[in-house]
Amino acid sequence: MFAFDQVIAARLLTSLTLGFHIIFATMGVGIPLCISLAEFVGLWKKDVHYLLLARRWARGYVITVAVGVVTGTCIALQLVFLWPGFMQLAGKVIGLPLFLETFAFFFEAIFLGMYLYTWDRFQNPWLHWVLSVPIIIGAVGSACFITSVNAFMNTPQGFRLENGVITAIDPWQAMFNPAAPSKVAHVLSSAFLTVSFVLAAIAAYHLYRKKQHEYYQKALGFTMLLSLVFSVLNTVMGDWSGKFLAESQPEKLAAGEWHFHTGARAKLIVGGILHEDTLETEYALGIPLLLSILAKGTPDAKVIGLDQFPRELWPPLYVHYFFDLMVGLGAYLFVVSFLFVGLSFLQKRGKLTRFSRYNRPVLAAIMAGGPFAVLATECGWIFAEVGRQPWILRGVLRTGEAVTPAAYLPEMLVLFVLLYVFLAVLVTSVLVRLFRKTPPEVELEARKIIL
Amino acid sequence: MELHKIGIAIAWIFLYGYLIVASIDFGAGFFSFYGKLTKRDHIINAIIDRYLSPVWEVTNVFLIFFVYAVIGFFPDVAYMYGVALLVPGSVALLLIAIRGSFYAFANYGARKNTVYLFVYGVTGLFIPASLATLLTISEGGFISVDGQRVELLLHQLVRSPYAWVVVLLAIVSVLFISASFLTYYADRANDTEAREVLRRFALYNSLPTIFVSFLAFFTIRTHNPEHFERMLSMSWMFMASLACFLLALALIIQRKWYGTAFLFVMLQFAFAFFGYGRSHLPYLLYPYLTVESGVTSDAMGVALIAAFVGGILLLIPSLFLLMRLFVFSATYVQGRK
């Protein structure tokens, strides 16, 4: 324990908290939209199944929000405790979106409270649906603001650093930094995709367990359609992010792609093993020209490689695997949702009726997509954060310079590991028990009597 | 008004908001547990659940608001407190996390579980105690600063009578604020039985609140005489606080106007809290950091104030709607909706 490096301990604790929080933050951004859409469809089509779907998702959402709030509090304060040097500087320049993020979340929390406890309270059910709109605005807003802070860490601007003194501070310029638009877009689209796939996986699980109720089929059809839409959107946004990196943060893209030599007609490297001393790759799949096409849009474009940067400023090269895994899983999500939606489309026109679209391999593929989507989000964040190293604030402040000098960091790490294990067990068991206790069939029965 | 004054005023308003909202929540947790111990839980828990369910997420946000308002307006605070508070801050965070996550339990009626109630009750006392210690630390004498090296002097802290008085004050205040609000809430719900139990809780904690407040006065006199002098120079605020307390107490004793009584309790704490805060100035961390030396740039200050005004314009109507629907709606409070 004594030789445990301070920076490593602080980074581990931060990544642990973030890695755990991101799951719930992603749910927090995506679920309100899905709930709102389901309630909308339910009211529009006067279909109780969709209304029940919205209700049940909302019920589960309360629990993920509870964990999201507490882990969000953890990361907010841990940034101060673990990276006081960064927060001191960041507070001066990027304090505005941090402050605004809290407002957005507050706004969301207020309307969430109203939404959850007023299902049967209004004469006009559309009024209840209207309450979901500010929840979405708050959820998306807080994601925008906090992502802008993260973008600022990648492309800091809006201040001048002269002899260690910060001058000419412009908080608006800092907030609207160059990395913000593409990053915000990718964070939002990936959150929507992840959530709709996780919800689809739940519906698929029930159908796989031979529950035949129409409710599950509608749930699966609805979430798969959303997944396909968001998957296309997310691919476009991810491509935009990659192009942004090629332009403004080329060392991050180069590390992710193992692109060492600046040049035109660059090859895309997928997978493989790297010999760090010779920078030779083995067993990798190389696709000619593709990196130039992806990074710049044309095969003849020049893509900057890591040879343009001194070696001590290279990000860790293992980020390549996280990048590839993220892209691979994203592709999987697209293929599965495309297949399912395509099959549904054909079957509704009386074609291919020999297969059931609820056959077991298809359902199993969708079920796997839920955890895969979460994994892809995690990989994306690891790539985004580790790919920025050695900087905590690119070009301005190194991670090692910002860490707290305080003692007992490893002990705190252990403490929080225990907390997250506890929370993970708690939230899983609560969710499982909550939904097992009142299956939708029972709720539908109960509702039909009322109707 | 200068930027640093506006900044500290905004931060202090958030902390006051947290003080009231969180106190109600923390106290409610303790009363649930205490009610279980003394076999009165069936009387009071329905009222407590009914209030807490729709508003609990709002509570934590006030704390984050305070932290980021302070860091936004006074970024140097982040460094000194950040380094000094790693261990106590992490422990407080752990308590907040456990308490917050336990709300998840509430969704399937686990409030009857004794372990749950125990954690819920005990964290309700430990969290305010540990947060109040933050204010104690700001009085100076518990942090040593040597260039970049900042250290919390834990031994000094646990031996300080002032620190313990503040902890005690935090706990009785939480219970008093919470009980007087819940009395009002039960009264609105026409739940006489619960109201009587909660009213008694409010009365039990009323005199200790004032007694410990006096104790805090005397101990700060020895701990930080400079601060004590400034407190004396604005003694009218503390007098006003005492007057509000007496009015509230009189109303609760006479079983009259519980809503007005709670309003006076809020005013009691507003006067005392803002009196304390005003006399604490100019120091953010005595004697190392003042609001003038630590204030952020004008550009950031203006942006933050604009954000604050815009945010408040959005939040006040929303909060008003929330209150209309759940706290001031007689049909909801009485459980008919």
By the 8 A CB rule, do B11 and B301 touch? no
Nearest Cβ partner of A98 from B68, B83, B150? B68
Residues 25-84 of A with CB under 8 A from B: 59, 62-63, 65-67, 69-74, 76-78, 80-84
Rounded to whole angstroms, the Cα distance separating B79 from A152 reads 20
Residues 386-415 of A with CB under 8 A from B: 404-409, 411-412, 415
Q: Do B104 and A92 touch (CB under 8 A)?
A: no
Nearest Cβ partner of B65 from A83, A102, A411? A102
Rounded to whole angstroms, the Cα distance separating A384 from A250 reads 13
Please tell me the least confidently modeled range out of A189-203, A432-446, B118-132: A432-446
List chain A residues with CB under 8 Å of B91.
415
Instruction: Please give the backbone phi and psi of residue A7, each rounded to the nearest 5 degrees, phi first.
Output: -65, -40
Using 50, 70 and 90 to split pLDDT, how confident is the model at B153?
A: confident
pLDDT tens-digit map of B61-92: 788 888 888 888 888 888 888 888 888 888 88
Residue B253 has pLDDT above 50, yes or no: yes
Nearest Cβ partner of A117 from B53, B297, B318? B53
Residue A49 has pLDDT above 80, yes or no: yes
Residue B40 has pLDDT above 80, yes or no: no
Q: What is the largest CA-CA distance in chain A?
A: 74
At B331 the pLDDT is: 65
Rounded to whole angstroms, the Cα distance separating B227 from B73 reads 23
Count Cβ atoms below 10 Å from residue A284 Cβ, excluding itself.
18
Find the mean pLDDT for residues B192-201: 83
By the 8 A CB rule, do A82 and A14 touch? yes
Count Cβ atoms below 10 Å from residue A12 Cβ, excluding itself.
17
| Pairing assessment for the beta strands A302-303 and A263-264 based on DSSP bridges | antiparallel
Q: What is the ipTM of this complex?
A: 0.81
Is the torsion defined by CA of B295, B297, B302, B304 positive or negative? negative
At A17 the pLDDT is: 93
Find the mean pLDDT for residues A442-450: 67
Nearest Cβ partner of B101 from A76, A95, A426? A426
Rounded to whole angstroms, the Cα distance separating B18 from B210 reads 21
Q: Do A66 and B86 touch (CB under 8 A)?
A: no
Instruction: Please give the backbone phi and psi of residue A407, each rounded to the nearest 5 degrees, phi first.
Output: -85, 175
Residue of B6, B53, B108 for testing the chain A interface, max A β-carbons within 10 Å: B108
